[in-house]
A and B are shown apart, each in its own frame.
Chain A
Amino acid sequence: MLPFEHTWLPFIYLYSLGGFLFLIGIWIIFRAKSIDLRRSHHRRWLFILIFGYVWYFSIHALLNLAALDVIRPVVVLYGLAVEFILFFVGMRIFRTKRMREA
């Protein structure tokens, strides 16, 4: 049995401190009006940014669970495949809106 310092502490540290920095980044670009949600492709960029955080969070969470024998390794692939599909669905949704605007 591996200690908490080897299993979940690094994960929590990575996504809490990393997540905090990520949120600061999002806040700064909003405050600076560098990202403008009135522009459709910027809305899509915001979706991509948030998706990226969730994507990496799930990769590490699923791999951790597989390493600890909570889930089978193949479940990691299924989970990521579902997210991958959701990514393209999301991209499609934002693209559709852009077409309508144009």
Chain B
Amino acid sequence: MEAQSTIQTFHSIGTSTDWIVMVVYFIAVMLFGSYFGRYTRSTTDFFFGGRRFSWWLITMSIVATGVGSHSFVKYSAKGFEHGISSTMTYMNDWFFLPFFIFGWLPIVVYSRIRSIPEYFEKRFSPSARFLATILLLLYMIGYIGIGFLTLGKAIIPMLPESFMLFGATIPITLMGAIIVIAIITGIYITFGGQTAVIFTDLLQGFILLFAGLMLFALGLAFLGGFDTFWNLLPIAWKLPLADFNKPPDFNFVGIFWQDAIAGSIGFLFMNQGLLMRFMACKSVDEGRKAAAINILFVLPISAIVVGNAGWLGKAISVVSPNLIPPNTSPDQIFVVVANIVSHPGIFGFVMAALTAALMSTVDTLINATAAIFINDVYRPVHRLIDKGKKISGSRDKRELLVARYASVGVTALGVLAVLAFKNFPTVYEAHGFFHSTLTPPLVVAIFLGIFWKKFTPAAVITTFVAGVGLMLLGARYPGIFIAPFDHGITMNPTHPYSYIRALYNMLVCSGVGVVVGLTTSWQKRLVAYLLQKGKTPMKTLIPISVILFLIPLFNVGSSTLQFIDLMLLVVVLPLVVTHYVSYDEEKQTKGLIVDSIQEARIRFKGGLPNDREGDKALVNWKLHEGSDMNVRFAREDMETMAAETGDLVYLSDKRKWLGGLKSIHSRIGEPHDEPGIVYITEEEMKNGLFVKNRILEAEKEM
């Protein structure tokens, strides 16, 4: 135990039994993940798990991802410092659910996009996709960095300060621990893929909920029951929401804008890892169920699971300050409390669950970032290189290999990203700052793109460029630009407005987007006027736009000059984009905005959707000869499903507990007259992993 200024830190917590339990747990999890990795046959399986899973499986696998990302470490830290209000960020996601389940989710699934930048290309232009890719990769890699930092901080208290190797004393540093963790994390994601991740997360989701609740029960028993625990907590620690605007490092209003608004939209709308989970669901409705059940019931339980160590720590520090000094490092409180209230072996199990949950988050993000790399960098670049060339070998195999290399590269970049966050006092603040800073431009662009038809490529590109410029200005001069929106929060000069800056950033980005979107007709008229003067005026506007962006980027001139400069950019850049980027509003919004979801469904099916409500049909499968790729049902079974020829159908193994692992999507062909029999192709049988004599359940999709 050592004292660093006023914060007390710990080392070598735990026994050898705990380490054995942890190592056994990790080996078991990796074997489990590798087992399901064999179901990866293509990049679709590697990244999306083949769009086949049931809602309950995805819900539980989201637990590990969500709980891992909003980790035990940071919520226990805030629980220790501020009490039950550490649950705030877990319980403010509902407000955006209507937008998500009836807006973004159906658009993502029906438009068959594989990544968020791809949406930007379809909805706006390739240049918008390019900028979105850069911002999204920064966001994802930053997120991985936060994950690694948390993992390192969780594991450090269990490690000695140094160890001996060949007579030399080697100190154990945070970065050293993170590098080792990154290597372990990278192993099964690289060889497993999304199916492995989903199933590993499913297992870990159950285990970490169990471990967290068990820790709470052990802690309550240690303290002498719930009433003792409750009465030991000061009133401020019992409140579910923090003080409105103080202290600067944990206040309600700042966290509302950073988490409930920017964070919730960011998590639901632009977290590629989470989105891929929903895309792995067998249908849109199943994705809706996964999201709703997760937010309604699983998140409140998760809030207790991740924060209770901090609340217990506070109660123990009140009754036994010698056991847990009040100045214990908040980021270590989870490990310290877990060690005090549990026995050797159990502590190892709890720590294994914690680190495994964090790894789940990180591996999901690595998988998702690799997906973005393949979809938005590798494929477009290769399309350019391969133009006109005859390609030998399987493209999918090549991409699968590149996907695995990309996972390794992304892991390495994630480790480097830790450097940007490791100087924040707690992981919670690092994460808050990260969300407030990196999510607003993309969040605003996605949100306006989905819900506002008038949001043009000029508007989205200006949002990305001038919005980021105004955000830079706010970061550089927070006292001038962010202070008017601070709701009375005192500015901390070291980390100014870690949370409430999200409000400023969202306002400037949405302000730019809305102004440019509303003035589209003016831009067109102005461009037409300039073109009458020849090509030179339009060409001149390109370098002017670049200079206008570089001035705030390199901090040239005063804050006033930079602000005026950015206002000019908001005028000039849309003209350039309007002229040089081709855009057909009718064509490029069809099926890609909330107003045209019906159109998206028609496109997805390739015909009018059949919304007649029917039942599921139980059938035996047989292989059919010939080139017909459709599945064929008996007339009677089609009547049961209220299905018609050409409808989309989902066929899965009848055993519910498989969660859709053995299933396929197909189209219904011409009916036959053998009730209870479905004819499928050999390829479908292989893709569905169907077993002979196993009954299938058939469900019409649309």
Whole-angstrom distance from the CB of B307 to the nearest CB of chain A? 13
Q: A10-B252, A45-B101 known; A39 and B611 CB under 8 Å?
A: yes
Whole-angstrom distance from the CB of A25 to the nearest CB of chain B? 3
Cβ-based interface call for B557 (8 A) = no
Q: Does A28 contact B103, Cβ atoms closer than 8 Å?
A: yes
Q: Does A28 contact B243, Cβ atoms closer than 8 Å?
A: no
Partner of B292, one of A26, A28, A48: A48
Q: Beyond the given A64-B241, A101-B613, could you list 16 further A-B residue pairs with CB under 8 A, ordered by the A residue number?
A: A2-B239, A10-B256, A13-B252, A14-B241, A18-B95, A22-B94, A28-B451, A31-B595, A33-B597, A41-B613, A53-B94, A55-B296, A63-B239, A69-B235, A98-B613, A102-B613
Cβ-based interface call for A93 (8 A) = no
Q: Does B91 contact A25, Cβ atoms closer than 8 Å?
A: no
Cβ-based interface call for B226 (8 A) = yes
Contact residues of B between 496 and 538, Cβ < 8 Å to A: none
Residues of B within 8 A of A68 (CB): 235, 239
- Contact mask for chain A residues 31-59; partner B; CB cutoff 8 A; 1 contact, 0 none: 11111000111000100110111011001
The residue on A at minimum CB distance from B101 is A45
Q: Does A22 contact B98, Cβ atoms closer than 8 Å?
A: yes
> Which of B95, B288, B613 is most buried by chain A, counting CB atoms within 10 A of its CB?
B95
Cβ-based interface call for B9 (8 A) = no
Q: Does B292 contact A25, Cβ atoms closer than 8 Å?
A: no
Contact residues of B between 234 and 254, Cβ < 8 Å to A: 235-236, 238-245, 252-253
Bound CA span A68–B236, Å: 9
- Residues of A whose CB lies within 8 Å of any CB of B are 2, 5-7, 9-11, 13-14, 17-19, 21-22, 25-26, 28-29, 31-35, 39-41, 45, 48-49, 51-53, 55-56, 59-60, 63-64, 66-69, 73, 98, 101-102
Q: Does B292 contact A9, Cβ atoms closer than 8 Å?
A: no
The residue on B at minimum CB distance from A80 is B300
Cβ-based interface call for B594 (8 A) = yes
The residue on B at minimum CB distance from A42 is B102
Bound CA span A55–B328, Å: 36
Q: A14-B256, A102-B613 known; A28 and B99 CB under 8 Å?
A: yes
Q: Does B230 contact A19, Cβ atoms closer than 8 Å?
A: no
Q: Does B296 contact A102, Cβ atoms closer than 8 Å?
A: no
Q: Does B244 contact A60, Cβ atoms closer than 8 Å?
A: no
- Contact mask for chain B residues 473-496; partner A; CB cutoff 8 A; 1 contact, 0 none: 000000000000000000000000
Q: Does A66 contact B597, Cβ atoms closer than 8 Å?
A: no
Residues of A within 8 A of B245 (CB): 5
Cβ-based interface call for B84 (8 A) = yes
Q: Does B97 contact A52, Cβ atoms closer than 8 Å?
A: yes
The residue on A at minimum CB distance from B488 is A5
Bound CA span A69–B613, Å: 50
Partner of A21, one of B95, B230, B296: B95
Q: Does A10 contact B241, Cβ atoms closer than 8 Å?
A: yes
Partner of A63, one of B240, B242, B243, B296: B240
Residues of A within 8 A of B242 (CB): 6, 10
Q: A10-B253, A18-B260, A21-B96 known; A102 and B240 CB under 8 Å?
A: no
Whole-angstrom distance from the CB of B438 to the nearest CB of chain A? 21
Bound CA span A14–B91, Å: 11
Partner of A64, one of B92, B239, B260, B451: B239
Residues of A within 8 A of B230 (CB): 73
Bound CA span A26–B292, Å: 15
Contact residues of B between 97 and 118, Cβ < 8 Å to A: 97-99, 101-103, 106
Bound CA span A17–B97, Å: 15
Q: Does B96 contact A28, Cβ atoms closer than 8 Å?
A: no
Bound CA span A60–B85, Å: 10
Residues of B within 8 A of A21 (CB): 95-96
Q: Does A34 contact B106, Cβ atoms closer than 8 Å?
A: yes
A–B complex contacts, Cβ < 8 Å, 28 sampled? A2-B236, A5-B243, A5-B245, A6-B242, A9-B252, A10-B242, A10-B256, A13-B256, A14-B92, A14-B252, A19-B95, A25-B95, A25-B97, A29-B99, A29-B594, A32-B103, A32-B595, A34-B103, A34-B597, A39-B613, A41-B285, A41-B613, A49-B97, A56-B92, A59-B240, A63-B240, A64-B240, A67-B238
Residues of A within 8 A of B235 (CB): 2, 67-69
Q: Does A25 contact B240, Cβ atoms closer than 8 Å?
A: no
Residues of A within 8 A of B296 (CB): 48, 51-52, 55
Whole-angstrom distance from the CB of A39 to the nearest CB of chain B? 6
The residue on A at minimum CB distance from B288 is A45
Cβ-based interface call for B614 (8 A) = yes
Q: Is the interface of B mostly helix, strand, loop or mixed?
A: helix
Residues of B within 8 A of A26 (CB): 98
Whole-angstrom distance from the CB of B590 to the nearest CB of chain A? 13
Cβ-based interface call for B615 (8 A) = yes
Whole-angstrom distance from the CB of A85 to the nearest CB of chain B? 13
Q: A21-B96, A41-B285 known; A52 and B244 CB under 8 Å?
A: no
Residues of B within 8 A of A66 (CB): 238
5 closest cross-chain pairs (CB), A and B: A25-B98, A67-B238, A10-B241, A10-B252, A63-B240
Cβ-based interface call for B592 (8 A) = no
Residues of A within 8 A of B292 (CB): 48, 52
Bound CA span A34–B284, Å: 12
Bound CA span A19–B300, Å: 19
Whole-angstrom distance from the CB of B187 to the nearest CB of chain A? 39
Residues of A within 8 A of B101 (CB): 45
The residue on A at minimum CB distance from B611 is A39
Residues of B within 8 A of A9 (CB): 244, 252
The residue on B at minimum CB distance from A8 is B241
Q: Does B256 contact A52, Cβ atoms closer than 8 Å?
A: no
Q: Does B614 contact A29, Cβ atoms closer than 8 Å?
A: no
- Contact mask for chain B residues 116-135; partner A; CB cutoff 8 A; 1 contact, 0 none: 00000000000000000000
Whole-angstrom distance from the CB of A41 to the nearest CB of chain B? 7
Residues of B within 8 A of A102 (CB): 613-615, 642
Q: Does A18 contact B598, Cβ atoms closer than 8 Å?
A: no
- Contact mask for chain B residues 56-98; partner A; CB cutoff 8 A; 1 contact, 0 none: 0000000000000000000000000000100000011011111
Q: Does B102 contact A52, Cβ atoms closer than 8 Å?
A: no
Bound CA span A35–B292, Å: 16
Bound CA span A45–B101, Å: 10
Residues of A within 8 A of B614 (CB): 102
Q: Does B239 contact A25, Cβ atoms closer than 8 Å?
A: no
Cβ-based interface call for B295 (8 A) = yes
Bound CA span A26–B101, Å: 11
Q: Does B241 contact A11, Cβ atoms closer than 8 Å?
A: yes
